[in-house]
Amino acid sequence: MIQTDVLIIGAGPVGLFTVFEAGLLKLKSHLIDALPYPGGQCSEIYPKKPIFDIPAYPEVLAGDLVNNLLKQIEPFQPNYTLGERAETIEKDEEGFFTVSTQEGTQHRSKVVIIAGGLGSFEPRKPPIPDLSYFENKGVDYFVKDPEKYRNKKVLISGGGDSALDWTIQLSSIAEKVTLIHRRNEFRGALDSVEKVRQLAKSGIITLITNAEVKQLIGTDSLEQIGVRSLEGDQLLTSDYFIPLFGLLPKLGPIANWGLEIEKNAIKVDNALDYSTNVKGIYAVGDVNTYPGKLKLILSGFHETTLALQSAYQIINPGKRHTMKYTTVNGITGFDGSKKEAKKSELLSI
Ligand SMILES: Cc1cc2nc3c(=O)[nH]c(=O)nc-3n(C[C@H](O)[C@H](O)[C@H](O)COP(=O)(O)OP(=O)(O)OC[C@H]3O[C@@H](n4cnc5c(N)ncnc54)[C@H](O)[C@@H]3O)c2cc1C
Query: pLDDT of 114-137, one tens digit each?
Result: 999 988 778 899 999 999 999 989
Q: Where in the chain is the domain with CATH 3.50.50.60?
A: 2-121+248-343, 125-245
Could you report the per-residue pLDDT of 172-221, keeping only the tens digit for each?
A: 999 999 999 999 999 988 999 999 999 999 999 999 999 999 999 999 99
DSSP helix/strand/coil, 253:
helix
- State the distance from the centre of ligand 1 to the C-alpha of 85, rounded, in angstroms: 15
Give mean pLDDT, residues 144-154: 91
8 A C-beta contact, residue 246 and residue 240: no
Domain 2-121+248-343 -> CATH class: alpha beta
344, pLDDT greater than 70: no
Binding site membership of 254 for ligand 1 (Cβ less than 6 Å): yes
In whole angstroms, what is the distance from residue 182 CA to residue 161 CA? 15
Give the global pTM: 0.79
CA 62 to chain centre: 14
Give mean pLDDT, residues 84-93: 94
Least confident of 58-67, 73-82, 250-259: 250-259
146, pLDDT greater than 90: no
The chain-wide mean pLDDT, for the chain, equals: 93
- State the distance from the centre of ligand 1 to the C-alpha of 271, rounded, in angstroms: 23
DSSP helix/strand/coil, 80:
strand
Q: What is the pLDDT of residue 336?
A: 82
Length of the chain: 349
Binding site membership of 42 for ligand 1 (Cβ less than 6 Å): yes
Q: Which CATH architecture has domain 125-245?
A: 3-Layer(bba) Sandwich (3.50)
345, pLDDT greater than 60: no
Binding site membership of 39 for ligand 1 (Cβ less than 6 Å): no
Q: What is the pLDDT of residue 343?
A: 65
β-sheet bridge partners, residue 216: 225
Binding site membership of 38 for ligand 1 (Cβ less than 6 Å): no
